[in-house]
Structure 1
Amino acid sequence: MNRRKALKIGVGLTSIATLGATIKPWFTKNLPLDSRVFSDMKDLLAELAETIIPETDTPGAKLAGVADYLLLVINDCFTIKEQRIFYQGLTVVEKMAVEKFGQSFVCCDAKIREELLTILENDDGHYQGLLYKIKRKLWGRSFLDLLKEHVVEGYCTSEAGATKGLAYQAIPMKYEGCITIGPDQKAWATR
């Protein structure tokens, strides 16, 4: 084999290897995450939901089964991009809890959990108005936005949340578009 042919083969193999290394992240980035990834984090999801809607005189998110709802929504309704954002957010929460307090988020008490979520919200909340819209368009919704929206949605559509956390009226008598709510009155659960 002469030198020119050996150089062509070497350049060709190098080009193929470089192209493969360049394309592989694109393919793996666009593959959905395995549903077991989030199933393994069910306890973390339940504690995050309970931190957002804690149990008081009404049932909390854990009792309402919001973690099961979140798993269903993540696996069946989220885009691949949202799944990846959510997974990264969950790992960041767990990592922050271990680094700052030396224990898993699930093992932390309610005050520490609130503090961690407040830190995340402050880190995420410095975008306002147009900057927020641009950020959301380029990088998608943040982990905390997705979490809060779906925790509230899961709670309000659960039986415990709709009947005990909200004022449930199975058959509304008449439509009133704007009514005054009393000081201790719950919001309505009918749609």
Structure 2
Amino acid sequence: MNRRSALKNLSLVLGTTALPNWAYQWNKQSLPAFQGPNSELLGAIVNAIIPETDSPGAKTIGAHLYIERMVKDCMSQEDQQAFQNGLQKLASWANKNYQKAFPLLSSQEQISLLTSLQNSTQPEENQFFKRLKGLTIASYLSSEYFLTQHRNYTMAPGFYHGCVPVQ
């Protein structure tokens, strides 16, 4: 018997039986656990950092969901707490300065708050903004939209073409 086909069939059988029923048809609506309590605030922040123009903005692409997942899965408890504190501080600044929640502010007011956070003399506020901006840019640059529309990205496993000019 061909070892390669036997292994392929065995992995196919094991893969389909091990995949639970809840894993089918994943989307934003079926997974509300991915959206944390600060999802709306984070969506407004990433939309202020990369706004929607003739191309989709960061919120449309889902950068806020990416950031939530990265904070939850990849940061230590102290870093998660510092990130949450930064979000709460930004929300309280919006309420104190404009008497409105951050998502309800105009784009100029949002940008002025983010600029003041970026230029803050407090190191934890400055660090929070740098991390937030870095995660927003990373999520946008690794999104399907950006890679397929602005980079000549093809899904792996692509083909190897030896002697061709680089675009």
Q: If the TM-score is normalised by the length of the shorter chain, which range does it land in? A: 0.5 to 0.7
Alignment of 1:33-182 (within 5 A): 39-124=36-121, 142-164=127-149, 166-170=150-154, 174=165
Once residues 70 and 116 of structure 1 are traced to their aligned partners in structure 2, the CA distance between those partners, rounded to angstroms, is 20
User: Number of aligned pairs?
Assistant: 127
Question: Match of 1:123, SS?
Answer: coil
CA contact (8 A) 1:85 1:142 kept: no
Larger Rg: 1
Cα drift, residue 84 of structure 1: 1.4
Structure 1: state its 5+ residue gaps. Answer: 1-35, 127-134, 177-191
Change (3 A) 1:160 1:123: same
Question: Match of 2:115, SS?
Answer: helix
Moved over 6 A (4+): none
**Which string of whole-angstrom CA distances, capped at 9 and with x for unpartnered residues, describes residues 53-81 of structure 1?**
11111110011111110111011001122
| Alignment RMSD (CA, Å) | 2.6
Cα drift, residue 169 of structure 1: 3.3
CA contact (8 A) 1:155 1:162 kept: no
Once residues 75 and 153 of structure 1 are traced to their aligned partners in structure 2, the CA distance between those partners, rounded to angstroms, is 16
**Which string of whole-angstrom CA distances, capped at 9 and with x for unpartnered residues, describes residues 66-115 of structure 1?**
11101110110011221111111101100000000000001111111000
**Which string of whole-angstrom CA distances, capped at 9 and with x for unpartnered residues, describes residues 7-42 of structure 1?**
xxxxxxxxxxxxxxxxxxxxxxxxxxxxx8x70100
Structure 2: state its 5+ residue gaps. Answer: 1-32
- Aligned-residue sequence identity (percent) comes to 27
Cα drift, residue 174 of structure 1: 5.0
2:136 counterpart letter in structure 1: V
Once residues 159 and 169 of structure 1 are traced to their aligned partners in structure 2, the CA distance between those partners, rounded to angstroms, is 9
Cα drift, residue 168 of structure 1: 3.1
Once residues 40 and 47 of structure 2 are traced to their aligned partners in structure 1, the CA distance between those partners, rounded to angstroms, is 10
CA contact (8 A) 1:64 1:161 kept: no
**Which string of whole-angstrom CA distances, capped at 9 and with x for unpartnered residues, describes residues 129-156 of structure 1?**
xxxxxx6xxx7x8111110111111111
Question: Match of 2:59, SS?
Answer: coil
Q: TM-score, normalised by structure 1?
A: 0.60
